[in-house]
């Protein structure tokens, strides 16, 4: 592979914003990719994938390069050089790369690869917590799996098409896909591509959604005529799936504390041909109170550390702090206590996270069941999905029944 100056410089700018300005990796990459209209898909792919790669391996590469934050441009070029050397890419004779110690980089890599927190490029506190929570063996496998780049998985919008029809339409658009056993509405892209540019996406025939995430809506076991509440709906990834399973019948109420996310949900719902969904902004506790014992089915896809989705958000490894874990655990407790009141007697609730930490998952559910608010509930089924076992994102879901 030959390195092109403008692509490498664009990558360095992206890294500067992410590492030094604390900007989000996805938003930064999106912005940088708009800088030059002449870039083709391979150029864009290089910038996006290299940036993500270096974000993912930041601790390891910075240690090998011997640089510390805040990173100067020279530091970032050194980190970039480590990335290139470890991938066997020969460095061009630009002044930024002069004197790169290729043999030393390889030697340091071998030495640091023996220590998990460097090899997997994770903060000390997260490494200790993961090992304590999951046990050494599972954590070692899990963090390695969470450091792999996520594949592109689509969820077929069954309100508008079928899986085989979509597969054919995508193939006509040069997007080859394959089905995944055990995931009835999923298609895996054989080769990474920008699916959002496809007319099939614009026509609402699919959404991009990880296979593990596609298990959550069916886990709620909804029937078409149900009154369903998705209480932490965000921009509606799972609401759209719920609406499709409901076959546009019954009623789906999507709630969130951020009206901007609900606006995006409405836009996506229009594209998806969803007609049974209403959004409501939670601007006070009254919104929840008014819905007391109304829901046949309630989904609590609560805010969490996102430790199960590090494959797609590698910068979360650096943004996440122990204090955030404590705070989010409190938020989850409050949501479970207050929002569970919306479930009818005889109704069902699913509590879900994209975290692999027990503290946010089964511990929360057990504590809820033993509390006053959880008195009338019993646990019907729970499922922990690990990236190292399933090959998809890490997820947790528990289905509880109200007596
Ligand atoms: C894991 S995300 C939900 C993702 C969404 N269900 C999806 O599938 O795309 C959690 C959501 O909870 C929302 N949230 C945070 N605190 C909340 C609260 N107290 N009540 C309701 N929603 C809340 C966040 O804004 C965020 O959209």
Q: What is the DSSP letter of 19?
A: I
Candidates 155, 207, 228, 232: which one to mutate for ligand 1, based on the most atoms within 8 Å of Cβ? 232
The arithmetic mean of pLDDT across residues 110-138, rounded, is: 97
Contact in structure between 281 and 262 (CB atoms under 8 Å): yes
Is pLDDT of 11 > 90?
Answer: yes
pLDDT of residue 84: 98
Q: Where do we find the tokens 């020279």?
A: 74
Q: pLDDT (tens digit, 9 = 90+) per residue, 283-300?
A: 999 999 999 999 999 999
Q: How far is the CA of 9 from the centre of ligand 1 (A)?
A: 36
Question: Which stretches of 16-123 are DSSP H helices?
Answer: 21, 25-33, 41-56, 58-65, 73-86, 102-112, 116-119
Chain Cα centroid distance, residue 71: 27
The arithmetic mean of pLDDT across residues 54-60, rounded, is: 97
- Joined together, the tokens standing for residue 192 give 């990474």
Candidates 287, 303, 332, 337: which one to mutate for ligand 1, based on the most atoms within 8 Å of Cβ? 303
The arithmetic mean of pLDDT across residues 333-357, rounded, is: 98
The domain defined by 5-121 carries CATH number 1.25.40: no
Distances (CA, A) of 110 to 115, 159, 352: 10, 52, 39
Q: How far is the CA of 301 from the centre of ligand 1 (A)?
A: 6
Is pLDDT of 224 > 90?
Answer: no
- Joined together, the tokens standing for residue 128 give 């200790």
* Mean of per-residue pLDDT scores for the chain: 97
The domain defined by 153-208 carries CATH number 3.30.1360.100: no
CA dihedral 262, 267, 269, 273 (to 10 degrees): 160
Q: How far is the CA of 261 from the centre of ligand 1 (A)?
A: 9
**Residue 232 catalytic?**
no
Pocket of ligand 1 (CB under 6 A): 231-238, 256-258, 261, 282, 301, 303, 331, 335
Distances (CA, A) of 302 to 130, 219, 308: 20, 15, 13
Confidence bin at 1 (pLDDT 50/70/90) = confident
| Domain residue limits, the chain | 5-121, 153-208, 213-402
Q: How far is the CA of 2 from the centre of ligand 1 (A)?
A: 43
The one catalytic residue among 252, 343, 352, 354 = 354
Is pLDDT of 306 > 90?
Answer: yes
Helix H or strand E segment including 230: strand 227-230
43 is in an annotated binding site: no
pTM of the model: 0.95
Strands (E), 237-371: 251-256, 277-281, 295-301, 343-353
The arithmetic mean of pLDDT across residues 48-56, rounded, is: 96
Is pLDDT of 96 > 90?
Answer: yes
The arithmetic mean of pLDDT across residues 187-194, rounded, is: 94
What CATH number does domain 213-402 carry, 3.60.21.10, 2.40.110.10, 1.10.3720.10, 3.40.50.150? 3.40.50.150
301 is in an annotated binding site: yes
The arithmetic mean of pLDDT across residues 181-207, rounded, is: 96
The arithmetic mean of pLDDT across residues 188-217, rounded, is: 96
Contact in structure between 360 and 329 (CB atoms under 8 Å): yes
Helix H or strand E segment including 11: helix 5-15
Q: Among residues of the chain, what percentage have pLDDT more than 70?
A: 100
pLDDT of residue 162: 98
Q: How far is the CA of 256 from the centre of ligand 1 (A)?
A: 6
Task: Please state, in angstroms and rounded to a whole number, the distance separating the CA atoms of residues 262 and 265.
Answer: 5
Is pLDDT of 376 > 90?
Answer: yes
Strand-by-strand arrangement of the 153-156 sheet? 177-180, 183-189, 153-156, 206-208
Is pLDDT of 400 > 90?
Answer: yes
Q: What is the DSSP letter of 71?
A: P
């Amino acid at each position: 592979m030959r390195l092109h100056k403008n692509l490498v410089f664009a990558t360095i700018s992206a890294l500067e914003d992410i590492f030094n300005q604390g900007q989000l990796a996805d938003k930064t990459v999106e912005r940088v990719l708009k800088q030059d209209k002449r870039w083709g898909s391979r150029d864009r792919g290089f910038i996006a994938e290299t940036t993500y790669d270096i974000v993912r391996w930041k601790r390891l590469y910075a240690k090998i390069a011997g640089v510390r934050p805040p990173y100067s441009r020279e530091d970032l070029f050194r980190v970039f050089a480590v990335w290139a050397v470890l991938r066997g890419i020969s460095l061009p004779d630009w002044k930024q790369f002069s004197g790169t110690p290729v043999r030393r980089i390889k030697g340091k890599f071998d030495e640091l690869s023996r220590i998990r927190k460097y090899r997997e490029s994770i903060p000390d506190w997260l490494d200790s917590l993961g090992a304590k929570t999951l046990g050494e063996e599972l954590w070692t496998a899990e963090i390695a799996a969470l450091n792999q780049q996520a594949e592109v998985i689509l969820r077929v919008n069954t309100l508008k098409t079928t899986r085989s029809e979509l597969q054919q339409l995508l193939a006509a658009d040069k997007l080859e896909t394959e089905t995944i056993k055990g995931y009835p509405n999923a298609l895996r892209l054989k080769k990474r591509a920008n699916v959002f540019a496809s007319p099939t996406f614009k026509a609402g025939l699919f959404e991009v959604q990880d296979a593990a995430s596609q298990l959550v809506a069916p886990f709620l076991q909804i029937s078409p005529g149900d009154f369903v509440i998705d209480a932490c709906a965000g921009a509606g990834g799972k609401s759209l799936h719920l609406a499709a399973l409901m076959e546009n019948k019954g009623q789906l109420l999507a709630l969130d504390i951020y009206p901007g996310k609900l606006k995006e949900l409405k836009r996506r719902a229009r594209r998806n041909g969803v007609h049974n969904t209403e959004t409501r902004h939670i601007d006070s506790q009254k919104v929840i109170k008014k819905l007391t014992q109304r829901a046949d089915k309630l989904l609590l896809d609560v805010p969490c550390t996102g430790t199960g989705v590090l494959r797609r958000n590698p910068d979360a490894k650096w943004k996440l702090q122990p204090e955030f874990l404590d705070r989010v655990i409190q938020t989850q407790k409050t949501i479970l206590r207050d929002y569970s009141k919306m479930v009818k007697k005889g109704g069902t609730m699913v509590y879900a996270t994209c975290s692999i930490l027990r503290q946010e998952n089964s511990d929360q559910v057990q504590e809820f069941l033993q509390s006053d608010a959880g008195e009338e509930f019993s646990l019907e089924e729970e499922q922990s999905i690990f990236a190292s076992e399933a090959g998809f994102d890490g997820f947790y879901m528990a289905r509880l029944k109200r007596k």
